[in-house]
Each structure stands twice: as structure tokens, then as C-alpha cells.
Structure 1
């Protein structure tokens, strides 16, 4: 695949990548609460979700979902419910300042859980699927095998997403000392919860 086509694709997809969504919200939640190391599972999970969409596009299943209104609605509502559930979870696990007589936040389930959340957030996002059905085809050469081209573009997008989320991780890590108190973490988790719930409602009502 010609490098010029890959660069053109990245230029076209970047505005979508830069639009704040569930993946960035999860990175904000994890980095501000537990440090920069917890961004890696989110980044890996998001990239994994891209490869899932690429695989479905190759198999033609994404086209089936996007062209069947019933199936599309099911995927959209599942994604919306998942985002709302994550948002509610953020609100319920807000850390409390020491000495207020309430239990501290539970120990997180670990990196595997964060990875799974990021995978689901991406896989259940119809907008991510639509990229491989509306944008990717514009950069494919029908005279060559489609699967390698789709995987190449998915890899390019994955690297772009990883770089974007890593950049945010660095920024958040630099500001983390200002966000280290339980009170500040609580504010961030409430903001994160509101954003996730808002994303879910927007998806459900779209």
C-alpha cells in the first residue's frame, strides 16, 4: 500500500481520533486515579477494538450490522448501556478523604479489567465500525487483496490512537501531583462519570 494513501487516511481519520470519547475518558480516569502505568491497558484495549472492527469489516459482518437497522440499533444501545454503566461505576467508587468515617475506595480489579473495559467500549461503538465501512473503502485498491490493505490501515489508525492517548497520558501525569488528593480524584471521577454517562446518552438518543 502506498505511503501517500496511508498518510491521507491518517489525515482524514485524525479529527475522529482527536474527538474526546470513551477511550480518552478511561485514560483520564485511570491515570488520575492510579498513575501513568494504568494507561497502557486502555491503549492496548482500544487498539484491540480497532482490530476487531477491521476483522469484522473483512468478513463483511460490520456491513451487515450497519445495513440492518435492527442489528445496528442493538449494537448502538448495547454500547450506550455499557458507557452509562461505566459512568455510574465511576460515581459509586469515588474515593473519600481520610478521616470522614466512610470506607476507602476498593482496590481496582487490575489491568486486565481496564483492558477489557477499553475493548468493549471500542467494539460496542458503532462510530468505530462506521469508519471501516465509510472511510476505509475510500483508500482501498480493488485490484489488490482487500484484507492486507484493511489491516494496514487499521494498524496505522492504531498507532495514531496510541500516540494520541500516550500524549494525553504524559500531560495528565505531569499534572497528577496537583490531582493526587482524594478530594481531587473524587472530582475527576465524578467528571469522568458524567462524561461517560453523557456519551452513553448521546449514543442512545442519536
Structure 2
């Protein structure tokens, strides 16, 4: 029986896997709670992982990495579409990423217990911040905290500075693009009338995770 752990896939097939996973995630998200997804939002969510794979993964990849990539890309693409369209991050999608990330850490020899403790600390700190600021902390919702906790589960607390750095750069770039084309930042991604018009976190944090997942840490 062949050793599947030693099996590697060519780079072109990994690009196809990334594209397919992102498309499935975006399609499923577009059916979530009747949200309306703008075409450019859908295109961005489906094309970004494939472009990253094309640029950042030049050679063959292990089968295990490809399978875990499918899980991560599917989840992050779905969350990005929902957050961009409705400015919500549903717990039903963010919560599974946390145990899946811890399982991935355990299977790859990372200290999953340390990751879990870091997640608990992150959630506790965010809850304390929200309690201290009351309703003035609308820029950080519970879904965003769980989304960040999922990122820590997958990448560990050591990569948290990289994640925050890349997420910040992507959000700044989004703001700059909005001003460059003489649009308000909130209109960079079309949303339904009456929707919260703060910048969505899931697309930027999801892209930051995929950059580190495929290209490695920044620092």
C-alpha cells in the first residue's frame, strides 16, 4: 500500500484545489441567511486564494498540506464573503475553525495546549475590553474575536504579530484604495442598505492567514 504521507501534488493541481475550495466556500456563503453577494465580492473571494497559490507555491506540495488547505480556504472564503456582504461573522462558521486548527497543530507536532491557552487568553481579554468600553467597542464584535482565535489555533501565538501586521496593511490598503477612487471606505465593497458600514475584518484577516499559510511568516 503506498505511503500517502509521502505523496506530493504538482503546483498546478494545488492552484486548482485552492480555486475550487474558495469557490465552494463562497457559493455556500452566498446561500447563508439570504445575503446578497456583489459580483466583485464573489470574484475577489474566489480568485484571491488561487492567485496566492500560483505566486507563492512554485513547487509540489505534500498531500496533507493540500487537504488542510482545502479546509482552511473553504472556511476563510465563506467568512470573507459573508462579512463583506453583511458585516457579520457567524459563530457557526468561526467556531469550527478553532478545534480544526488545534487538531492541525496536534497532528503537526505543535503545542496545541499552548495554542488553546493563548486562545482562552485572547477571548478573555477581548471580553474584558468590551465590558470596560461597553457600547464603545462596536469596532470589535464577538465574531471577530472568534475569527482571530481561529487564526491563533491554526498558526499559533508566535505568528500573531505577523497576522496582525498583514491584516493592518491590507485594511490600510483598502482604505487607501477607497480614497484613491474618491469613494468612502465603506463603499469599496457594496453592502445592503442599512448595513453596518465599518470595514469588514474577515477578508483582510483571511487573506493574511493565507499569505502566511502559503508563503511563510513575515518576521
Same fold (TM over 0.5): no
Structure number with the bigger relative contact order (C-alpha 8 A, sep ≥ 6) is 1
CA radius of gyration, larger in = 1
TM-score for both structures, normalised by structure 2: 0.24
Q: Could you say which structure has the higher helix fraction?
A: 1
